[in-house]
Chain A
């Protein structure tokens, strides 16, 4: 089992629709969860982070966390063609030495079509 799993996509949604991106993780002790957006040929850009169970909203983005199910999601409302990118889920995990490291999923490619 991979530490952080995402569907690779592509997830295709029409402009104006809600895009739903999902992520599961293996470490029950993880405390912090991040969503990054990566355009082709560019570096990842942090768009959301969430530490507590429930929803966190920022503009058109909503992050949802369910620690019991080890599940985190990102909703993008009113999707725009400019949202077309790869979305990376990242989970903070501790190694055996107690040090923190950010573990990334392989990313979900989102395509928003006009």
Chain B
């Protein structure tokens, strides 16, 4: 079975622009979580979606938004990009949104904001 897929792999944007990142979960998984990882730190939780509903939000500004589609794939949108948004954006897939659910990561999208 295919694992979690993300697109694009790399992206370079300019300050003030908007970006959309995409994720497809493992087949059969209904929950997608998004994380931001900057160099030297662990991933930071941004959002979790389950059955198309938001099931948690981390401490990120409203410039960050996400949604989940009927086929359980997901998009992360970031508006008005800042230099500090440069990071590896990770999508993780799990069967459901409960605490006893293992999350499996995709390869990530590396975003560079110049």
Q: A95 to B97, alpha carbons, bound, how many Å?
A: 13
Q: Is B95 an interface residue (CB 8 A)?
A: no
A13 CB → nearest B CB, Å: 21
Q: Is B15 an interface residue (CB 8 A)?
A: no
Contact with B along A58-96 (1 / 0, CB 8 A): 000000000000000000000000000000101010110
Contact (A102, B104) CB under 8 Å given A94-B99, A97-B56: no
A111 CB → nearest B CB, Å: 16
Q: Which of B21-52 contact A (CB under 8 A)?
A: 33, 35, 40-45, 48
In the complex, the chain A residue whose C-beta lies closest to that of B47 is A101
Contact (A31, B105) CB under 8 Å given A44-B90, A101-B45: no
Contact (A101, B102) CB under 8 Å given A42-B107, A44-B43: no
- Interfacial chain A residues near B43, Cβ < 8 Å: 44, 88, 102, 104
Q: Interface residues of A, CB < 8 Å — how many?
A: 27
Please state if A102 and B100 are interface contacts (CB–CB under 8 Å).
no
Q: Is A45 an interface residue (CB 8 A)?
A: yes
Please state if A100 and B102 are interface contacts (CB–CB under 8 Å).
no
Please state if A99 and B48 are interface contacts (CB–CB under 8 Å).
yes
Please state if B42 and A104 are interface contacts (CB–CB under 8 Å).
yes
Q: A90 to B103, alpha carbons, bound, how many Å?
A: 10
Contact (A106, B107) CB under 8 Å given A49-B102, A99-B48, A101-B56: no
| 27 chain-A/chain-B pairs, Cβ below 8 angstroms | A4-B42, A31-B99, A32-B99, A34-B102, A34-B103, A36-B105, A43-B88, A44-B43, A46-B102, A46-B103, A46-B105, A51-B100, A88-B42, A88-B43, A90-B42, A100-B48, A100-B56, A100-B97, A100-B98, A100-B99, A101-B45, A101-B56, A101-B58, A102-B43, A103-B45, A104-B44, A107-B41
Interface residues of B (CB under 8 A from A): 33, 35, 40-45, 48, 55-56, 58, 88, 90, 92, 97-108
Interface residues of A (CB under 8 A from B): 4, 31-32, 34, 36, 42-46, 49, 51, 88, 90, 92, 94-95, 97, 99-107
6 nearest interchain CB pairs? A104-B42, A99-B56, A92-B99, A43-B105, A101-B45, A43-B108
